C-alpha cells in the first residue's frame, strides 16, 4: 500500500510539474502587449508591400512604354522581312511551304503576331502603261506606271467588284492581272484591256490583260504599306516626271511569267513580331536573337532549312529597340529617385519603431541581462519574437504585391521585399544591442561616442560633397542608364541636411525657448524647452524624426521640381514649334485671304497676331556678288511679330528696327538677319533675289538667333517688314502663314479658315491635294496642306507618352508613400514621448492648466521639430536642384530634344512642403485629442485603486 501511495505521489508531482511549466517566451511577450505586436506586423506588412510593389510598378511602366513606342512605328518596322530570288518552278504552294517553315523556326525564339503576316512575290521592275487612252498629267505627259505582285490570300483582303480573279498565264498570252477599281477609274483602265507595258530585252512586247477589278477592304491597313499602291492610283510627284502609279496582282501559278515580265522577281515573307510580348528587361536578349536572324547563325539555319541559300532578312526592329532602350535609360535616374527616398524614410521609420519598443522594454531587457542572460541568448529571443510578427506580415505583403501587380519579372521585387523584411526584423534587436553598448559607455567612453558620432557625420558630409562634385563634373547624357551615384546624390544631400539640422535645430529652438521665457506665458516656453531636449531632459533629441521628415520633403520637392520643369519646357517647346500659341500654314500654291486674317485676329484670347510670307528659295547677294541660299520672312505687322518673339523667347527684337518707310526702288529695306548670314553680308550693301528674278535691297538692322516663323530653319534667314518689301516686289504681295499668341481656341481658327479660306488648288497642285486627301491626310474639313498648329495640342501630343506617364506616376506614388511614412514618424515620436509628456501634463493639470493650454503645449512641442524639418527639407530640395539639375537630361520626359536644365523653382517645393507640414500638424492635433486626454485622465487617477 505504501509503495502505491508513493507512486501516486510521484505521479501527482509529475502532473504538477507539467501544469506549472513556464510558458514560451514568444507567446508570453505577444500576449503581454498584443497591440504593439499588431502595430509592428502592420508596419512590416505596409513596408514590405511597398518594397515589393515599386519594382513591379516600374517594370509594368517600362514594358508598357516599350510596347507602345515600338507599336506606334507600324507593322512593317516591327516585322522580319525575308526575301529570296524567284526560281523556276516557284508557285503558291512552294511559298506557303517556306512560310510555314519560317514561322515555325522564328516562332521558337520570337513571339509572332497572329495578324499582319503576308507572303508573295513582287516583280522588281515596274513598267509604264503605254495605252494612249490612259490619263497622263498634262505638264509632263508621262505614262502611268504599273507594278505587279502576287499576294497570298488576296481574296481575304480585297473584294472582287468586276470580272474574275486572275488565272495562271498561258504561254505567249498576256499576263492576267487584277487592279483596284479606284485606280482604274483614275487612269481610265477598263475591264478586259490589254495593257502595253513596253518591249522586253528580246524585242517581244510585254503585255498584261485586266481580268478583274477589286476594292481593298481596309485601305488604312498597314499590311498594304510595303506593297506599292494597291488601293488606288498614287501620284508620284517626282520633279523630273510626275505620273500616276498603281499595283496589280497575278495568280500564284504565274510566278515564272511574273519574273519574266519584271526582268526579275523576288519572293517575300513578312513575319510581324508581337509587340505586346516585348519586355524592357529582355532587350539585350532580344537584340541578340534579332542579330542572329539578320546576319548570324539563325540566318544560316533559315536558309539551309528552307533550301533557299540566297534568303536574307531585314528588319527595322533593332533600331527601334535601341531607341526605346535609350529613352528608358534616360528616364530611369529620374524615376528612381522617388522610390530611393521612400526606402530611406521607411528605414528611418522602422528604426524609430525599434526605438519606441526599446524605450518601452528597457527595464525588462536589463533585468534579463542582470539575471544572467547572455547577449546572444537575449538577441535570439528578440529575433524569434519579431519573426512571429514580421515574417507572416512580410510574406503576406510580398504575395499581395505579386498578385495585384502582375509582371513576368519577380526577382527585384522579392529582393527588395527581403531587404525590407530583414530591416523590420533586425531593427529592434540591433537597437537593443546598441542600448547595452551605450549603457556601458560611461566616463571617457561617452566622449569617445560623441567623437565617433562627429566622425561619422563628417564622413557622410565628405561622401555627399564628393558625390555632388562627381555628378556635376561628368553629368549624365541621354541613354546613360541607372547611375547609382546620380540616384544617391539627392538622398545623400537629404541625409546630410538632416544631420546638420539635428545639430542646429536644438540650439535654435533653445534660443527661441529662452526668448519665450522672457514673456508672461509659460506654454510657448515649456513647449520649446521640451522640443530642445529628449525625454530625459538632458541630451539632444533623436535625429531620426528630423531625418525622416527631411528626406520626405527633399525627395518630394526635388521630384516635383523636375516634373514642373518638364511641363514648362514641353509647353515652351510646343510654342516654339508652333511659332506661337496658334499658327496657320498653307501650301505654296495657296494664299491667306484678308477676311481670314481679320476674323482670326478678332477671335477671343488673341493677344497679338500677324500674317507672314515665307519664301524658302531666296538668294542673298553680298557686295562681292557671292550668293547664299536663305529664307526670306516678310512680316505684315512687325510690332505684333515682335510681341510673338518676346512671348516665345525666340529672336526678341525692338519693333522699331523694322520700321521702314516705303520708298523708291533704291531704298533699302531694314532686315533682321541670322548671325551666320550677318557675317556673310558684313562686307557691304546686300540684296535678296526671289525665285521670279526680282531684287530687294537690304539694310542690316540687327541680328537674331531665331525667329518664330522658322523654329528650326536649317539655313540662314532674314526678317523684313512686308510693306516696304512689297514696294519692291509687287508680285510677292501675298501671305501663307499666320501666327498669334494668347489663349486661342484652335477650333475657332479652323472655323475661320473654313469660312474665309484661300484659293483652291488647280492643275498639278490640285492633283497633289487630292492625292493627300485620298490617304486621309486632310483633317477638320480643311483642304490638304491647310494646317492649323496649336501649341496646346502639340504639348498634349508630346505628353501622350506612356514612358512619361509611368515616370510621373511612379514619382507621385513614391511621394504619397514618403508622406505617409513621414507622418508615421511624427506619430511614433509622439508615442515615444507620450509617458513623460502625460506625466508632465497631469502635474500641470493639478496646478490649473486648462485642456486647451495642454493642447497648445503639445502642438508647440511637436510642430517646432516638424516645421524645422519642413523648412530644412525645402532648403535642401532647392539646393539639390541647384547643384544637380544640370546633370539630368529631361528630353525623354519632354518628348523632344531640348537643352534646358532643371533650375530651382519655389512653388513646386513649397506646395508639397506646406501640404506635408499641414498633415503633420493635423496628425499631432488628432493624436492629442484622441489619446492624450485619455492618458492624462488615467495619470490623474493613479493611486485611486486600493
H, E, C per residue of 590-614: CCCCHHHHHHHHCCCCEEEEEEEEE
Q: How many angstroms separate the CA atoms of 372 and 502, rounded?
A: 37
Collapse the DSSP code of 582 into the 3-class scheme (helix H, G, I; strand E, B; otherwise coil) and give the result: strand
Tell me, what's the pLDDT at 96?
Answer: 93
List of the chain residues with pLDDT < 70? 1-33, 138-140, 201-203, 238-240, 369, 372-374, 435-450, 475-483, 533-542, 623-625, 660-666, 681-685, 757-781, 784, 834, 837-838, 841, 851, 928, 930-946
Q: How many angstroms separate the CA atoms of 40 and 351, rounded?
A: 12
Tell me, what's the pLDDT at 427?
Answer: 85
Collapse the DSSP code of 361 into the 3-class scheme (helix H, G, I; strand E, B; otherwise coil) and give the result: coil
Angle (CA) 471-477-481 rounded to 5° is: 85
Which phi and psi (to 5°) does residue 161 adopt? Answer: -105, -30
Q: How many angstroms separate the CA atoms of 874 and 923, rounded?
A: 20
Tell me, what's the pLDDT at 535?
Answer: 44
Q: How many angstroms separate the CA atoms of 674 and 672, rounded?
A: 7
Measured from the Cβ of residue 282, the count of other Cβ atoms closer than 10 Å reads 16
Name the DSSP letter for residue 96.
H
**In 3-state terms, the chain is what percent helix, strand and coil (to 5)?**
60, 15, 25
* CA 811 centroid distance within chain: 11
Q: How many angstroms separate the CA atoms of 544 and 352, rounded?
A: 7
Q: Are 731 and 694 in contact (CB under 8 A)?
A: yes
Q: Are strands 717-721 and 627-635 parallel, antiparallel or unpaired?
A: parallel
Q: Are 266 and 84 in contact (CB under 8 A)?
A: yes
Tell me, what's the pLDDT at 780?
Answer: 67
Tell me, what's the pLDDT at 946?
Answer: 42
Tell me, what's the pLDDT at 421?
Answer: 93
Q: Which three cell numbers stand for residue 581?
A: 500659341
For the chain, the distance separating the N- and C-terminal CA atoms, rounded to the nearest angstrom, is 51
Query: At a CB cut-off of 8 Å and minimum separation 6, what does 838 contact?
Result: 932, 935, 936, 938, 939
Tell me, what's the pLDDT at 25?
Answer: 62
DSSP string, 717-775: EEEEEHHHHHHH-GGG----EEEEEES--HHHHHHHHHHS--PPP-HHHHHHHHHHHHT
Tell me, what's the pLDDT at 651?
Answer: 83
* Closest C-alpha among 678, 685, 675 to residue 651: 675
Give the sign of the dihedral formed by CA 637, CA 643, CA 648, CA 654: positive
Amino acid at each position: 500500500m505504501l509503495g502505491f501511495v508513493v507512486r501516486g505521489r510521484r505521479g501527482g508531482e509529475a502532473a504538477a510539474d507539467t501544469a506549472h511549466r513556464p510558458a514560451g517566451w514568444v507567446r508570453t511577450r505577444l500576449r503581454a502587449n498584443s497591440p504593439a505586436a499588431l502595430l509592428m506586423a502592420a508596419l512590416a506588412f505596409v513596408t514590405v508591400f511597398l518594397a515589393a510593389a515599386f519594382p513591379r510598378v516600374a517594370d509594368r511602366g517600362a514594358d508598357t512604354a516599350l510596347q507602345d513606342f515600338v507599336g506606334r512605328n507600324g507593322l512593317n518596322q516591327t516585322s522580319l522581312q525575308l526575301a529570296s530570288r524567284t526560281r523556276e518552278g516557284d508557285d503558291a504552294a512552294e511559298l506557303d511551304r517556306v512560310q510555314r517553315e519560317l514561322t515555325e523556326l522564328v516562332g521558337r525564339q520570337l513571339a509572332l503576331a497572329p495578324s499582319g503576316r503576308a507572303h508573295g512575290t513582287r516583280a522588281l521592275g515596274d513598267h509604264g502603261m503605254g495605252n494612249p487612252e490612259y490619263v497622263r498629267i498634262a505638264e509632263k505627259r508621262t505614262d502611268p506606271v504599273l507594278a505587279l505582285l502576287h499576294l497570298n490570300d488576296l481574296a481575304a483582303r480585297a473584294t472582287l467588284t468586276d470580272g474574275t480573279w486572275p488565272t495562271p498565264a498561258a504561254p505567249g498570252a498576256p499576263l492576267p492581272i487584277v487592279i483596284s477599281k479606284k485606280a482604274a477609274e483614275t487612269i481610265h483602265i477598263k475591264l478586259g484591256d490589254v495593257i502595253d507595258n513596253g518591249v522586253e530585252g528580246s524585242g517581244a512586247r510585254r503585255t498584261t490583260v485586266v481580268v478583274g477589278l477589286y476594292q481593298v477592304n481596309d485601305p488604312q491597313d498597314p499590311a498594304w504599306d510595303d506593297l506599292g499602291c494597291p488601293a488606288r492610283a498614287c501620284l508620284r510627284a517626282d520633279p523630273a516626271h510626275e505620273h500616276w502609279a498603281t499595283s496589280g496582282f497575278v495568280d500564284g501559278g504565274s510566278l515564272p511569267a511574273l519574273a519574266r515580265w519584271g526582268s526579275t522577281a523576288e519572293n517575300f515573307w513578312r513575319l510581324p513580331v508581337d509587340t505586346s510580348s516585348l519586355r524592357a528587361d529582355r532587350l539585350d536578349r532580344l537584340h541578340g536573337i534579332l542579330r542572329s536572324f539578320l546576319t548570324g547563325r539563325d540566318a544560316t539555319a533559315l536558309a539551309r532549312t528552307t533550301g533557299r541559300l540566297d534568303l536574307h532578312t531585314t528588319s527595322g526592329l533593332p533600331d527601334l529597340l535601341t531607341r526605346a532602350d535609350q529613352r528608358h535609360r534616360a528616364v530611369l535616374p529620374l524615376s528612381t529617385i522617388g522610390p530611393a527616398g521612400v526606402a530611406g524614410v521607411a528605414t528611418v521609420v522602422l528604426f524609430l519603431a525599434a526605438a519606441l519598443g526599446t524605450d518601452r522594454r528597457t527595464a525588462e531587457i536589463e533585468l534579463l541581462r542582470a539575471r544572467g542572460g547572455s547577449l546572444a541568448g537575449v538577441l535570439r529571443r528578440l529575433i524569434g519574437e519579431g519573426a512571429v510578427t514580421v515574417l507572416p506580415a512580410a510574406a503576406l505583403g510580398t504575395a499581395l504585391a505579386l498578385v495585384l501587380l502582375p509582371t513576368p519579372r519577380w526577382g527585384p521585387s522579392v529582393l527588395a521585399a527581403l531587404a525590407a523584411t530583414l530591416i523590420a526584423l533586425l531593427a529592434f534587436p540591433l537597437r537593443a544591442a546598441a542600448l547595452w553598448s551605450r549603457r556601458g559607455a560611461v566616463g571617457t567612453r561617452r566622449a569617445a561616442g560623441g567623437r565617433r558620432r562627429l566622425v561619422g557625420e563628417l564622413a557622410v558630409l565628405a561622401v555627399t560633397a564628393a558625390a555632388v562634385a562627381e555628378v556635376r563634373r561628368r553629368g549624365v547624357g541621354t541613354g546613360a542608364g541607372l547611375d547609382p551615384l546620380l540616384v544617391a546624390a539627392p538622398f545623400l544631400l537629404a541625409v546630410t541636411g538632416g544631420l546638420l539640422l539635428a545639430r542646429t535645430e536644438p540650439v535654435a529652438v533653445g534660443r527661441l525657448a529662452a526668448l519665450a521665457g522672457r514673456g508672461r506665458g509659460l506654454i510657448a516656453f515649456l513647449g520649446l524647452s521640451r522640443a530642445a531636449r529628449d525625454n530625459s531632459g538632458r541630451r539632444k533629441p533623436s535625429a531620426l524624426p528630423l531625418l525622416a521628415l527631411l528626406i520626405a520633403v527633399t525627395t518630394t520637392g526635388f521630384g516635383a521640381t523636375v516634373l514642373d520643369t518638364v511641363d514648362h519646357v514641353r509647353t515652351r517647346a510646343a510654342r516654339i514649334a508652333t511659332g506661337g500659341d496658334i499658327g496657320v500654314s498653307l501650301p505654296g500654291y495657296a494664299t491667306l485671304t484678308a477676311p481670314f486674317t481679320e476674323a482670326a485676329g478678332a477671335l477671343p484670347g488673341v493677344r497679338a497676331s500677324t500674317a507672314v510670307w515665307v519664301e524658302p528659295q531666296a538668294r542673298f547677294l553680298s557686295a562681292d556678288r557671292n550668293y547664299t541660299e536663305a529664307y526670306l520672312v516678310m512680316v505684315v505687322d512687325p510690332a505684333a511679330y515682335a510681341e510673338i518673339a518676346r512671348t516665345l523667347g525666340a529672336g526678341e527684337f525692338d519693333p522699331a528696327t523694322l520700321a521702314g518707310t516705303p520708298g523708291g526702288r533704291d531704298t533699302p529695306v531694314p532686315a533682321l538677319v541670322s548671325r551666320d548670314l550677318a557675317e556673310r553680308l558684313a562686307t557691304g550693301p546686300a540684296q535678296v533675289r526671289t525665285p521670279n528674278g526680282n531684287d530687294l535691297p537690304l539694310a542690316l538692322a540687327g541680328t537674331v538667333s531665331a525667329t518664330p516663323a522658322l523654329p528650326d530653319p536649317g539655313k540662314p534667314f532674314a526678317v523684313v517688314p512686308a510693306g516696304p518689301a512689297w514696294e519692291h516686289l509687287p508680285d510677292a504681295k501675298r501671305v501663307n502663314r499666320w501666327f498669334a499668341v494668347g489663349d486661342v481656341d484652335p477650333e475657332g481658327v479652323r472655323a475661320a479658315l473654313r469660312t474665309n479660306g484661300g484659293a483652291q488648288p488647280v492643275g498639278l497642285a490640285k492633283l497633289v491635294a487630292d492625292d493627300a486627301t485620298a490617304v486621309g491626310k486632310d483633317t477638320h474639313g480643311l483642304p490638304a496642306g491647310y494646317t492649323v498648329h496649336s501649341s496646346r495640342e502639340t504639348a498634349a501630343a508630346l505628353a501622350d507618352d506612356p514612358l512619361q506617364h509611368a515616370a510621373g506616376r511612379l514619382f507621385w506614388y513614391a511621394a504619397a508613400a514618403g508622406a505617409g511614412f513621414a507622418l508615421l514618424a511624427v506619430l511614433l515620436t509622439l508615442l515615444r514621448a507620450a509617458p513623460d509628456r502625460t506625466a508632465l501634463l497631469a502635474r500641470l493639470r493639478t496646478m490649473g492648466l486648462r485642456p486647451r493650454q495642454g493642447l497648445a503645449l503639445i502642438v508647440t512641442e511637436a510642430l517646432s521639430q516638424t516645421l524645422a524639418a519642413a523648412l530644412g527639407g525645402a532648403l535642401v530640395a532647392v539646393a539639390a536642384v541647384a547643384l544637380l539639375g544640370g546633370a539630368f537630361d529631361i528630353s525623354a520626359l519632354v518628348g523632344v530634344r531640348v537643352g534646358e536644365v532643371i533650375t530651382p523653382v519655389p512653388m513646386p517645393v513649397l506646395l508639397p512642403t506646406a501640404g506635408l507640414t499641414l498633415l503633420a500638424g493635423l496628425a499631432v492635433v488628432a493624436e492629442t485629442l484622441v489619446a492624450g486626454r485619455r492618458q492624462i485622465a488615467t495619470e490623474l487617477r493613479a493611486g485611486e485603486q486600493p
